[in-house]
Structure 1
């Protein structure tokens, strides 16, 4: 059985405490459980105080067979930042701008960039999603069509540079599937509608409830964990694009990415967001799956 763990963002001490609470023990510098396996939903780097230690814990567990891990958007951004041309320059100015988010991570590897490069190579071997014995795990969004495209197009064994360069250009169905899987589905606002956050910055898109069909919904209803308020009127038919909702009888899907500091982690009987905003004074959350087909409140650990 599996213990699915949400976004960690360098909070190694919280991770160790959670693992010990769930009965994992440390031996030979690796945490393990006699009957269970941990599953990490991605975003284990950046922001927190002990990023290097967090990576070491997760990587050791994965390599020894005591855990599984998928890529979050923060790991994917780190991978893209590491892609350089023959002159040692970033392939695109877009990727060079990722430095600000990565500063907390890179600062921990000053003087030992070889270890960081080793971690990047390891991250490139991690999957974008998991289909296990009755459950699904993804970082941000599970859409069947996206998963189908990834199954057909992801390189085996590791994310190759040629594939990443192609995906980085956007525009193709595979690129769309790739980014929506790790970043979710953002709803693009019409040009004549600007939304301002608490800092006065304007936004033309917002995170949406990807598991619902937006047809007939209001902007407010469709918004998911946005850091700004949206209008409470129905989205005009001219700008809405219908999509299939996540089926009620489909396997439980566990994901992270969305800051659920004050919200209910259960979004439906088979939808669980495990990001409890650990990097913003929230908690580190896990779900102990025992084979059930519907979520059980008592199995959630915060």
Structure 2
């Protein structure tokens, strides 16, 4: 009786081993994914909490157009440097200071008079359509009146928000800018996006104006002076998105797991004989 040595080409053996290995790996990966997902706890959207974070851009309003505003907003959304990180937002509670006359140096006998003539706001970008916006802008016009014909000054402003009648919290401090008499060409605009930590609510706005080089407030303007700064419907980006109130991530009961495991085991039993027949057929085996 002649015996015949069965030789399987090496490259065919490697191909078949890879096929078998890939099948085993796929089964293991499926099991890991299924068991891993069962370990994820339910996520309650109402329990989302985050540190308050804003991203703002301040500029003289006359120096930008509508397209530039859109570009600024897009940049705000992609920026990783919040106002809080770069020191533009202190988060400090405003002291109950009143607008006061500047303390005058000895060389000056009188002080200029500052005022904020007007302000208005624009609401932008409500992605989930719930009436609360994550981006808004405020434009204000600060004026100066003096008695020595020096009708210009370097100033800056601190902007505050009050959450539904709560304390005034500093959310942005502008760079220095120049104002000229009662001109409306020096209106200053701040475009702000709420990144995180601001729940859907009505927010009032307050602006404190400072003359550069002095610590006292020279003018203040708030929702008490203008309804445009009152009850702005705002929320941060972590609230301005579509999601269900309660999201569960879980794969099912123990019985479901048992059925899945049994199915995979049965599939592997049928898989091995099939691959064995395929293996010999592909290798050119003859009885």
TM-score (norm 2): 0.17
Q: Which protein has greater RCO, CA pairs closer than 8 Å, 6+ apart?
A: 2
Considering only CA atoms, is the larger Rg found in Structure 1 or Structure 2?
Answer: 2
TM-score (norm 1): 0.17
The structure carrying a bigger strand percent of its residues is: 2
